[in-house]
Structure 1
């Protein structure tokens, strides 16, 4: 090889090495539902280039319920997802290969809403009523637990399939008596129904399992541990940044996802912060999954569902990727 050829060869090798060094690992995350305020830190970090800087080419996909996202992650269609932890545990017992790596809602987000004018005063009046929600809605999956805690028979209500965006209009039109929703959308219900709004948070009757959590496919975690660690690091930092100043995060969400009203997302984020804060996330790490609380969530699922294959819940989560210097602020 002559001198010129050697120079070109060296340059090619350097270019190849540089390209390899900056290559981004493709990573797909499926949300629990359509994008809302609780997902704004993901859009903010994506907009800021934090995932790219960490070597991750992140793709955000809209979800269709915790059950569907848990299944998708469990079979490896998506590398990472967001799902209510109890629902994820049900999926794991059915063979879904998944591990929780960070909590989003340290508290249960479930709420049942109704109109007082419908004649419902308390949960005791649910008997014979209809509840509107999607088939994969976590509240529908976890209904047996609520029914037992509320002193109702499991078949006390009838479920009606309702799309997420149709819940409020359907109840307003008296097509269903009750709807289930997450607490982060509480303010919109108040604005819509005013003094006629009745509701019960699941935590009010003693049901407070972990809510939405970030879950990762088990095989992917084993083979791409560094990528998962980088994802969790960026995501935890993004949520911390949005807790401290939500304005740029809400802006990124509204710019990145269509059909959202900024004012409503601001209100939602205030409720999200309430759901994120507990004794563990405020003292150990934002997103921390506590062993005892995870065990209680598993026990709740194991009590009210016939798990296909019981498992050790300590093997179904890890908090090892979280930065203990980043702590949630008390709300």
Structure 2
């Protein structure tokens, strides 16, 4: 009898365990690029089991650019993604069903880099030069806006397909004359090129659209509002935790992603904290998306690129899932 009860208890335990596993929602997060410091909060939260405890079975997928991640999320190929917000608006204008839930970069990270020894002193000298970046890179998608803002022709340069990890080598070998990259990688280029390095952040020429953000498939959001809300709040908590102390977060990242230099990732994180901070993220909520700024970003895309299928910008984002008790700690940002 005791053995029968033991077997029965084991069966019940297995059934409960199986039921719990079965009830977990499988979701995919497609990154904008290969994992670096700005993605470490996702890896950290997953390693801590925070998503799992909320019933989220998370897979993190390496990305191929904000254009690609926006379209993949918009088509339902991935539930969540990371994408440059202006690039996401371009995709939505093409019919992609994608909605922004949380800003990661409150300031644009888009930056052009060149070597002064190549005879380039600024963007006005870009015409007739080669710019290297991946084909789905946000800077390439938004290039017409940059070109118009600095007063050069959008067709005055040629683009060369360069992978994210090959940009510095391509610039050094003169395979290309200019590269695009995120400002969080700035220190690596300073170390490599020193005083010969020239650069301009898009903010410096008056273009400051929201940068990398957490986005979701619109239909998934409608059908699974609780999962989406849990995902956002866990992600907020993860970023706030990493802002407080990045060491555990980078430890997990370096264990999960090969080929990363720890010192470079530490430098990146310091730049990332700066880009996470605007007037709203320390006061409203970490990840806050301001309606007026989104309207400006929409107008930026509309003015410089045109919108294939115009839409009401307020349908392209929501802040209602954010935990307003979680705020960006601006005291942790080095100026």
Q: Aligned equivalents of 2:315 and 2:230: distance in 1?
A: 21
1:232 matched residue in structure 2: 232
Write the mapping of 1:151-170 to structure 2, written as runs, cut at 5 A: 151-170=151-170
2:131 matched residue in structure 1: 131
**CA shift in 2, pair 1:6/1:248, >3 Å:** closer
Q: Aligned equivalents of 2:8 and 2:191: distance in 1?
A: 68
2:292 matched residue in structure 1: 292
Q: CA deviation at 1:18?
A: 6.1
Q: Aligned equivalents of 2:278 and 2:174: distance in 1?
A: 36
Q: Aligned equivalents of 2:223 and 2:12: distance in 1?
A: 27
Counting matched residue pairs gives 328
1:43 matched residue in structure 2: 43
Q: Aligned equivalents of 1:294 and 1:311: distance in 2?
A: 13
Q: Aligned equivalents of 2:107 and 2:79: distance in 1?
A: 25
Q: CA deviation at 1:304?
A: 1.1
1:235-285, Cα deviation, whole Å (9 max, x unpaired): 100000000000000101000111111111111111111110001111100
Q: CA deviation at 1:122?
A: 1.6
2:275 matched residue in structure 1: 275
Gaps of 5+ in 1: none
Q: Aligned equivalents of 2:235 and 2:5: distance in 1?
A: 44
2:122 matched residue in structure 1: 122
Give the alignment's TM-score, normalised by structure 2: 0.94
1:176 matched residue in structure 2: 176
Q: CA deviation at 1:13?
A: 6.8
1:31-80, Cα deviation, whole Å (9 max, x unpaired): 00000000000111111111111111110000000000011101111100
Q: CA deviation at 1:219?
A: 0.8
**2:9 counterpart of 1:20:** no
Gaps of 5+ in 2: none
Aligned-partner SS, 2:181:
strand
Aligned-partner SS, 1:86:
helix
Give the alignment's TM-score, normalised by structure 1: 0.95
Write the mapping of 1:100-119 to structure 2, written as runs, cut at 5 A: 100-119=100-119
1:191 matched residue in structure 2: 191
Q: CA deviation at 1:299?
A: 0.8
Q: Aligned equivalents of 2:10 and 2:59: distance in 1?
A: 33
Q: Aligned equivalents of 1:242 and 1:321: distance in 2?
A: 20
Q: Aligned equivalents of 1:247 and 1:188: distance in 2?
A: 19
Q: CA deviation at 1:20?
A: 3.3
Q: CA deviation at 1:147?
A: 0.7
Aligned-partner SS, 2:234:
helix
Q: Aligned equivalents of 2:49 and 2:204: distance in 1?
A: 40
Q: Aligned equivalents of 1:144 and 1:50: distance in 2?
A: 41
Q: CA deviation at 1:11?
A: 8.4
Q: Aligned equivalents of 1:6 and 1:43: distance in 2?
A: 42
Q: CA deviation at 1:156?
A: 1.7
1:93-129, Cα deviation, whole Å (9 max, x unpaired): 1111111001111111100000011111121111211
**2:246 counterpart of 1:246:** yes
Q: CA deviation at 1:151?
A: 1.0
Cα RMSD of the aligned pairs, angstroms, is 1.8
1:312 matched residue in structure 2: 312
Aligned-partner SS, 1:227:
helix
**2:264 counterpart of 1:264:** yes
Q: Aligned equivalents of 1:71 and 1:301: distance in 2?
A: 17
Q: CA deviation at 1:132?
A: 0.5
